[in-house]
Structure 1
Amino acid sequence: MGLLTALDGGYGDRADAVTVAGTALSWEQLLGAAGAVAERAAGAPALAVLARPTAETVAAVVGGLLAGVPVVPLPPDSGPVERAHILRDSGATLLAGTALPEDAEGLTALPVDLADRPGGGWRPAAEDPDRTAFVLYTSGTTGAPKGALIPHRAVAAGLDGLADAWQWDAGDTLVHGLPLFHVHGLLLGVLGALRTGSRLVHTGKPTPAGYAAARGSLYFGVPTVWSRIAAEPDAARALAGARLLVSGSAPLPVPVFERLRALTGQAPAERYGMTETLITVATRADGERRPGAVGVPLPGTRTRLVGEDGRPVPADGESVGELQVQGPTLFDGYLGRAEATAASRTADGWFRTGDVAVIGPDGFHRIVGRASVDLIKSGGYRIGAGEVEAALRDHPGVADAAVVGAPDPDLGQAVVAYVVANGEHVLGERELIDFVAGRLSVHKRPRRIVLVGDLPRNAMGKVLKKQLLEDGR
């Protein structure tokens, strides 16, 4: 099946090859249900899938790929305005499911039945590595979400690179409970298993109990998931038999990293990527796992740091610059957005990630954050929000922290920290400011501390820093 080699039968079959929220399918059963979807979807401009954590979602996605039709995953919690924009912008004419939302005007429902099978004359679409596999919509922090065109070749290159980095093969059981509309949960967490031949257990919801009961060898999670698991020692210890715990989509707080290491006997492996690039940098299974670091580039991927003046930034482990990427996992552009596509690349063809990072002499990458919200320019200094957050989380009374640059008439931007206390200490503003100043350069200390009950996050656990600034807490 080209991209999904497990469906070719080369790995044999098993009754529980794919389990989603308790529903188990063999690869043969999945192929049958997906083939029926593919037979009905053939020739459509795009197939939208309301990506709930179900086996039907997996069958619908696989069916679109087998039909050679671009798959458009829809967040199940998207509001009517966002959903209507994605459906209209993507050009989808089919929506997998038996009932259409009221705002899905003009679309045809495509039922998904796990017991269904295609007709005897059905065949998958001819392989074409340049064909669009997915139209994945970005978060839309500036304007309406844009549809990133992800070709089959990029998905294959990314999964093969991670299989190499993580020694991921058919002997593994992959466990996760991540959303199925995102690179992490869908492309890595479903298609990765169908490419490597590993067994897949999707827990439905990413609960500590669900992860502990799955008895996997390879686990995927975001920091929120790992933080909750680390807070339940029995659940964390149940993962001690796994060979690799992978964290991504947002930085893993160092205290969570260390607690997981203490409870499971191994340090988690972090990785880095984004919708437009898929995963480009990862900690290797056979390599060092450093707190706060996301590893080294995957095979075939090149990275570089560039300053605001356009000049190269040295890979010295200290200097901060915008991370730019070249390699086989990059997207083909934004659907219908020629200007945005052109602006996303440099004149010499590198993709501008918009993230700021530090690269060490040994090639290890550390992501500081987004250039738009995490590179703070204060009093003539350039300060990475991530290192201030890491320093704050080292304080025994801090459960979590987010740092932003707030407009300031004197400094340009002032470092402001939003802090969640762990309840064991009474936190004072001066105490925290001095704590950071004692660990970092004095100019990196927060000028203001705001104590909050929690931090606003998106579905993948990333802090919504623009919301913090807009709320003006």
Structure 2
Amino acid sequence: VQNILNTALFNGAAVEVTAFDAAFCLKRLTSGDITCFHAVPTVYVKFTQHLDTLSAQARAAICKGLRNPSLRYMVSGSAALPVPTMTSWAEISGHVLLERYGMTEIGMALSNRINGTRYPGCVGWTLPGVEVKQDQEGGILVKGAPVFKEYYKREEATAKEFTEDGFFRTGDNAQKGGSPEELQALQDDARAVEASTGRPRADTTTAPDPALAAIYRILGRTSVDIIKSGGYKISGLEIESVLLQHDKIRECAVVGKPDETWGEKVTAVCVLQNDASLTIKELRDWGKERMASYKVPQELDIVTELPRNQMGKLEKKKILQRYSAK
């Protein structure tokens, strides 16, 4: 709705696609008459998979077309963007995807810079006109003119979702800033993504930007992405970003499977690359070299596809419902 209204206000046009088709969308994007593109992370994954099916000549033509000067920027939203997806798309298109954070109830609250370095895995800083803070559990709270007033004729629901001082509880958990080591890793990742475009920034500063102390990284929806296992609170999104670096994994979802001993077991639900095979032992041995031991998946579930809605957004609740029914 915002995109339609904004393009109308600024004498532009919004191109709506009724059913996603990777070949059609890539053709439109390389046509030279599209200035910006908004999509969920899954769309960029599907683009990449489609390009892998093409000849080297056809792929090169699309990659060149995506670098046309009319296409000013590309946005990823509505779900967390895995760093490997951002890196591969930068190499393909020459674009560093712009990550932001918003929802119907609040409009847009956080964003990476439209001009300047964009940090992989982060949704940026507080935008003008809104206040953002966190509760004791790390939940994102938002207040400001763009935030909706109330749920229509639902007083109890409205009272439940707003704090006494007027902040809306988004239901998402985040990390603000980080340790010196984490901020250095962010700076390094940003430079690596920029280098993948083939046109890295002239500013090659390696020290972390001081502004990173206030940058936000989404850890996930409290209801489905935060796993409570053995006394730890674990971000499923963080683990997914690591697992997608495995050469045998095409898509994945990490959830907390109910367990009497652990509370929840870290469970990886994966779609593998064609003709690939993977065991839980192989995955755990690989994972222990890349993340803390308590984050390494305890169980592996291989599936042919992951449940997604019409926008391509992963529906983890359906995965959790399946485990709860067992």
Cα distance in 2 for residues equivalent to 1:238 and 1:224: 21
* Aligned residue in 1 for 2:95: 266
Distance 1:375 1:397, change over 3 A: same
* Aligned residue in 2 for 1:408: 259
Q: Which amino acid aligns with 1:187?
A: Q
Task: Confirm whether residue 248 of structure 1 aligns to residue 77 of structure 2.
Answer: yes
Cα distance in 1 for residues equivalent to 2:80 and 2:63: 19
Distance 1:414 1:438, change over 3 A: same
**Pairing partner for 2:120 from 283, 291, 301:** 291
Q: Given that residues 209 and 235 in structure 1 are in contact (C-alpha distance below 8 angstroms), is that contact kept between their aligned partners in structure 2? A: no
* Aligned residue in 1 for 2:306: 455
Cα distance in 2 for residues equivalent to 1:417 and 1:356: 20
Cα distance in 1 for residues equivalent to 2:161 and 2:242: 32
Distance 1:300 1:409, change over 3 A: same
* Aligned residue in 2 for 1:304: 133
Extract unaligned runs of 5+ from structure 2: 52-58, 178-211
* Aligned residue in 2 for 1:24: none
Distance 1:414 1:259, change over 3 A: same
Cα distance in 2 for residues equivalent to 1:304 and 1:438: 34
Cα distance in 2 for residues equivalent to 1:415 and 1:270: 27
Give the number of the structure whose alpha-carbon radius of gyration is greater: 1
Cα distance in 1 for residues equivalent to 2:47 and 2:64: 9
Q: Given that residues 100 and 124 in structure 2 are in contact (C-alpha distance below 8 angstroms), is that contact kept between their aligned partners in structure 1? A: yes
Describe the SS at the equivalent of 2:15: strand
Task: Confirm whether residue 200 of structure 1 aligns to residue 14 of structure 2.
Answer: yes
- Displacement of 1:425: 3.3
- Displacement of 1:201: 2.6
Describe the SS at the equivalent of 2:148: coil
Describe the SS at the equivalent of 2:214: coil
* Aligned residue in 1 for 2:191: none
Q: Given that residues 249 and 460 in structure 1 are in contact (C-alpha distance below 8 angstroms), is that contact kept between their aligned partners in structure 2? A: no
**Identity across matched positions, percent:** 37
Q: Given that residues 392 and 401 in structure 1 are in contact (C-alpha distance below 8 angstroms), is that contact kept between their aligned partners in structure 2? A: yes
Distance 1:200 1:469, change over 3 A: closer
Extract unaligned runs of 5+ from structure 1: 1-185, 309-320
Cα distance in 1 for residues equivalent to 2:294 and 2:140: 24
Cα distance in 2 for residues equivalent to 1:228 and 1:271: 20
* Aligned residue in 1 for 2:204: none
Cα distance in 1 for residues equivalent to 2:288 and 2:41: 26
Distance 1:256 1:325, change over 3 A: same
Q: Taking structure 1 as the reference length, what is the TM-score of the superposition?
A: 0.55
Cα distance in 2 for residues equivalent to 1:217 and 1:424: 39
Q: Given that residues 273 and 281 in structure 1 are in contact (C-alpha distance below 8 angstroms), is that contact kept between their aligned partners in structure 2? A: yes
* Aligned residue in 2 for 1:219: 37
Q: Given that residues 272 and 302 in structure 2 are in contact (C-alpha distance below 8 angstroms), is that contact kept between their aligned partners in structure 1? A: yes
Cα distance in 2 for residues equivalent to 1:251 and 1:424: 27
Equivalent runs, 1:319-398 vs 2, <5 Å = 321-360=138-177, 361-398=212-249
Aligned length: 275
* Aligned residue in 1 for 2:209: none
* Aligned residue in 2 for 1:419: 270
Q: Which amino acid aligns with 2:277?
A: V
Q: Which amino acid aligns with 1:431?
A: E
Cα distance in 2 for residues equivalent to 1:224 and 1:450: 20
Q: Taking structure 2 as the reference length, what is the TM-score of the superposition?
A: 0.79
Distance 1:363 1:287, change over 3 A: farther
CA RMSD of aligned residues (A): 1.8
**Pairing partner for 2:285 from 408, 422, 434:** 434
Q: Given that residues 84 and 241 in structure 2 are in contact (C-alpha distance below 8 angstroms), is that contact kept between their aligned partners in structure 1? A: no
Q: Given that residues 83 and 120 in structure 2 are in contact (C-alpha distance below 8 angstroms), is that contact kept between their aligned partners in structure 1? A: yes
Higher relative contact order (CA 8 A, sep 6+): 2
Cα distance in 2 for residues equivalent to 1:306 and 1:236: 43
Describe the SS at the equivalent of 2:84: helix
- Displacement of 1:424: 5.6
